[in-house]
Amino acid sequence: MAKRVIDDVRMRGFAQRHTVQSALEWLDAQLEPLPAEAVPLRAAAARVLANSIVSDVDVPGFDRATMDGYAVVADSTEGAAAYSRLPLTVIGESMPGRPFDGSMMPGQAVRVMTGAPMPRCADAVLPAEWVDADDLGDAIISALSAVPPGKNVGKRGEDIVRGTTVLEAGRMLRPQDLGLLSSIGHGEVHVIRRPRVRLAVTGNELLPAGTQPHDFHIADANGPMLTALIERDGGIVDFCGPLRDDRDAILEALHAEADIVVVSGGSSVGVEDLAPTLVAEHGELAVHGIAMRPSSPTGLGRIGHRIVILLPGNPVSCLCAYDFFGGRAVRALGGRSKAWPYRSVRAKLNRKINSQIGRLDYARVKVENGSVEPLSIGGASVLSSATRADGFVIVGDDSEGFAAGTEVEVWLYA
Amino acid sequence: MAKRVIDDVRMRGFAQRHTVQSALEWLDAQLEPLPAEAVPLRAAAARVLANSIVSDVDVPGFDRATMDGYAVVADSTEGAAAYSRLPLTVIGESMPGRPFDGSMMPGQAVRVMTGAPMPRCADAVLPAEWVDADDLGDAIISALSAVPPGKNVGKRGEDIVRGTTVLEAGRMLRPQDLGLLSSIGHGEVHVIRRPRVRLAVTGNELLPAGTQPHDFHIADANGPMLTALIERDGGIVDFCGPLRDDRDAILEALHAEADIVVVSGGSSVGVEDLAPTLVAEHGELAVHGIAMRPSSPTGLGRIGHRIVILLPGNPVSCLCAYDFFGGRAVRALGGRSKAWPYRSVRAKLNRKINSQIGRLDYARVKVENGSVEPLSIGGASVLSSATRADGFVIVGDDSEGFAAGTEVEVWLYA
């Protein structure tokens, strides 16, 4: 009897809700980027640099031809023109990786390919188009134009000068950055470690993903969705299918070897909502209940070094709470920007969106012909509202909503 | 002697250049999406659906509670209010996955958790907040309010009605789509196969990525860069380090088991530019030489079923030509949009960009304080210009460039 009363009291909802702002403040205070690890360039795309990179070589390490043609001593071509052909003696060739082994004198030419090292004493390249190579025989060519010193020559260090900081710590590595790192001799790079995320999806009603739903059971939607979200945000997911609403199973997940534990389901104040109590008992439940719709039964806390994110089981609430809190934590621990990885566009609403002062709303919308249509089916359990939607509009907790015709910012899922 | 003359003639440059437009037209005519393959949901994020998905189940498959509280026969709560408490007899409970096994009568209540199946004959849920559970003893509760029929009940099929097309062919799968597919019992999904891309980076001067450059050798920048680009675009890369400028090695790469062969280096008309000749001899060299800067020595062709993309060896030219042709082919074969995966912003130039009628330019720029600064070092071999840049501006071949103050579209690398 006593227990029933307590349960019923606990079913009454949250005594008090945190604002989204205060929940984010608590969360952000926990989000130190993880330590660095060395990875080969091959695995470094989109990883975040742990330290700035200074080149200890010049790139290129030698002067080189930037066109196909003939390396020459520039001054010795003075006066050459189509009507005043200047003969040059071809004394050899320089190819990329296979330089001409000798010095040049005025009046001489060395055949070069783009990228080839410049011969000693040569200081310009006469492009192939400015030369007539077949009127004077094998070893003699005619210059049809003069070239100034330095023309068509890439100087040593023209790309990177030794000692230059080429990439700053904190940068998310782009494909061309990997090329650059390779060009200065870096085969591996120190990047922020990816956060390990234990994903625990709880619910006695849940069948593993890929199971045909039957009787009063439903197939787990949150496991596949959260796995893809966490990986998109750079996390390494540890997920083994749904758990029962069982104290020991949840407790084990909460103590997993992980940087973040994400629990989906059982996050509210009902009798089978075990996770919040367990977090409070074994660590710190800093935030529980947030003034937002959907996702109000969201919790944030810590167990030891682990950040714990308790997400509602309803799939749309789960997605919304992940977007606000889970993704932010995963990205920030991995050194990425806390900001949403979604592109936004501004467009006008063609119907009003209602909200309430004191509550933030996450409204799924379609964008059609440049205008924004709020989806009418908005239940937190209706996942198809988030697949039919093109994105979402946020109504802040200082607003009662937006009138039709208001220009709003839409965050696009794709 | 005869050979030298031919080589020298061939060094003179392209007799004629294709426009970017005509090169894209040829390429687009080759770009049929690949056949489908079945993959588990776990591997389906960001893959492209090969066929539309119709649900053959209702989701949920049963009526369920959408709040914690008491399932009731709605009509029997009529008149209940805080000043007119209505006693209800609690006859059991229904939990998610663990339904109440019986029917209900007016005046009875069954305790329910969110997501629990509704008992037979119940048609509404009285939220826990509208009930006083401890004034009348264990099995009797007091309703403090009436509820209308259907209130706080999610009807069978409210998310998805059997027979509905839930996702259309061609869609790139989002995290929530994977959740939805799981909820209708799909554990795997048919998606467009990822293109296999043989990457051949050629050059006698090249050291494998991760090697400290020395003497007249340079470390391969294009291999790591292109690998990351191709993977970003959804391709599976086959790359084993740089090849020598060797007929047999290049020929073998051109006949690799692959959907696309990307060759970097040796793509021009010089004596060591073997790839274009080999493509023409063994297949079709449809495009060679394009009126663009950088990247004019770009080639497009086919060998058997393979699409062949010949990219210049200079890293910036290589990046630009990949952006225009290589990435487009990889994305389209994998069923993705041909469009650039880059976000664009519009902003004003703070310095002019010069170009020429008849040539398209790919100008690297920085975006600082909302204005666009063209990078002054623009050599095709200066890869650091593409790492210092925030993105690029395209000057079409019908334009001589943009004056300072012109608003331009900037495609952002990050």
Q: What is the sign, positive or negative, of the torsion defined by CA atoms of B232, B238, B242, B244?
A: negative
Residues of chain A found within 8 Å of residue B182, distances taken between Cβ atoms = 209-210, 219-221, 223-225
Q: What is the CA radius of gyration of chain A?
A: 32
Q: Give B281's contacts (C-beta < 8 A, 6+ positions apart).
A: none
CB B31 within 8 A of CB B332: yes
Q: What is the mean pLDDT of residues A375-384?
A: 81
Nearest-Cα residue of chain A relative to residue B160: A384
Residues of chain A found within 8 Å of residue B216, distances taken between Cβ atoms = 61-62, 96-99, 117
- State phi, psi for B103 to the nearest 5 degrees: -105, 160
CB B392 within 8 A of CB B370: no
CB A117 within 8 A of CB A94: yes
Q: Which residue has the higher pLDDT, B12 or B348?
A: B348
CB A335 within 8 A of CB A344: no
Mark yes or no for CB contact A384/B1 under 8 Å: no
**Would the pTM of this model clear 0.90, i.e. be above it?**
yes
Cβ atoms < 10 Å from Cβ of A206:
28
Q: What stretch of H or E contains B265?
A: none
Residues of chain A found within 8 Å of residue B319, distances taken between Cβ atoms = 175-176, 179
CB B412 within 8 A of CB B391: yes
> CA-CA distance, B414 to B191, in Å (whole number)?
27
pLDDT in tens, B107-119: 999 999 989 999 9
User: Is beta strand B64-65 parallel, antiparallel or unpaired with respect to B153-154?
Assistant: antiparallel
Residues of chain A found within 8 Å of residue B131, distances taken between Cβ atoms = 8
Structure tokens at B326: 């290589």
Q: What is the mean pLDDT of residues A103-122?
A: 95
Query: Closest partner residue to B62 among A134, A204, A216, by Cβ?
Result: A216
CB A86 within 8 A of CB A140: no
For residue A327, give the amino acid letter. G
Q: Given this model, what pLDDT does residue A11 score?
A: 44
Q: Does A346 touch chain B (CB under 8 A)?
A: no
Q: Does A206 touch chain B (CB under 8 A)?
A: yes
CB A102 within 8 A of CB A122: no
> CA-CA distance, A277 to A69, in Å (whole number)?
77
Q: What is the mean pLDDT of residues B312-331?
A: 97
Residues of chain A found within 8 Å of residue B413, distances taken between Cβ atoms = 174, 176
Q: What stretch of H or E contains B178?
A: helix B175-183
Please check the confidence at residue B361 and state whether its pLDDT lies above 90: yes
Mark yes or no for CB contact B221/A377 under 8 Å: no
CB B266 within 8 A of CB B317: no
Which domains, and CATH codes, for chain A?
2-34+194-333 (3.40.980.10), 49-59+158-192 (3.90.105), 64-152 (2.170.190.11), 344-412 (2.40.340.10)
Per DSSP, the three-state class of A81 is strand
Q: What is the sign, positive or negative, of the torsion defined by CA atoms of B245, B247, B249, B255?
A: positive
Q: In what order do the strands lie in the sheet with A86-94?
A: A124-127, A69-72, A108-112, A86-94, A140-143, A131-132
Nearest-Cα residue of chain B relative to residue A233: B175
> CA-CA distance, B320 to B263, in Å (whole number)?
14
Per DSSP, the three-state class of A75 is helix
> CA-CA distance, B251 to A280, in Å (whole number)?
66
- State phi, psi for B279 to the nearest 5 degrees: -65, -45
Distance from CA of A172 to the nearest CA of B (A): 8
Which among A47, A176, A60 is positioned nearest to B385, based on CA atoms?
A176
Question: For tokens 């789960």, what's the residue?
Answer: A318
Residues of chain B found within 8 Å of residue A341, distances taken between Cβ atoms = none
> A107 in the Ramachandran plot: left (φ > 0), alpha (ψ -120 to 50) or beta?
left
Please check the confidence at residue B398 and state whether its pLDDT lies above 80: yes
> CA-CA distance, B210 to A110, in Å (whole number)?
32
Residues 127-166 of B with CB under 8 A from A: 128-129, 131, 133-134, 138, 154, 158-160, 166
Which among A255, A240, A236 is positioned nearest to A206, based on CA atoms?
A240
> CA-CA distance, A291 to B373, in Å (whole number)?
44
Residues 34-53 of A with CB under 8 A from B: 40-42, 45
Q: Give B247's contacts (C-beta < 8 A, 6+ positions apart).
A: B274, B278
For residue A117, give the amino acid letter. P
Structure tokens at A102: 């000798």
Which among B33, B154, B22, B147 is positioned nearest to B81, based on CA atoms?
B147
| Residue B256, CA distances (Å) to B234, B237, B260, B276, B332 in order | 19, 12, 9, 16, 20
Nearest-Cα residue of chain B relative to residue A319: B176
Q: Residue B14: which pLDDT band, with cuts at 50, 70 and 90?
A: confident
pLDDT in tens, B363-389: 999 999 999 999 976 678 899 999 999
> CA-CA distance, B201 to B222, in Å (whole number)?
7
Question: For tokens 């048609």, what's the residue?
Answer: B123
Helix, strand, coil tally for chain B in percent (to 5): 20, 30, 45
Q: Given this model, what pLDDT does residue A134 score?
A: 73
Residues of chain B found within 8 Å of residue A172, distances taken between Cβ atoms = 414
Q: Print the SS3 string covering B6-31.
A: HHHHHCCCCCCCECHHHHHHHHHCCC
Between helices B222-232 and A175-183, what is the axis angle to 10°? 160
Please check the confidence at residue B12 and state whether its pLDDT lies above 70: no
Mark yes or no for CB contact A221/B183 under 8 Å: yes
pLDDT in tens, A201-247: 999 999 999 899 999 999 999 999 999 999 999 999 999 999 999 99
Nearest-Cα residue of chain A relative to residue B181: A221
Cβ atoms < 10 Å from Cβ of B74:
20
Mark yes or no for CB contact B224/A160 under 8 Å: no
Please check the confidence at residue B251 and state whether its pLDDT lies above 60: yes
Q: Give A384's contacts (C-beta < 8 A, 6+ positions apart).
A: A377, B59, B159, B160, B166, B180
Q: Which residue has the higher pLDDT, B161 or A139?
A: B161
Q: What is the mean pLDDT of residues B111-128?
A: 94
Please check the confidence at residue B8 and state whether its pLDDT lies above 90: no
For residue B56, give the amino acid letter. D
Q: Residue B27: which pLDDT band, with cuts at 50, 70 and 90?
A: very high
Q: What is the sign, positive or negative, of the torsion defined by CA atoms of A399, A402, A407, A408?
A: positive
> CA-CA distance, A394 to B328, in Å (whole number)?
34
Structure tokens at A186: 């870096």
> CA-CA distance, A54 to A38, in Å (whole number)?
16
Please check the confidence at residue B5 and state whether its pLDDT lies above 50: no
Q: Which residue has the higher pLDDT, B13 or A150?
A: A150
Task: Using alpha carbons only, give the angle B90, B91, B94 rounded to the nearest 5 degrees.
Answer: 95
Q: Given this model, what pLDDT does residue A69 score?
A: 93
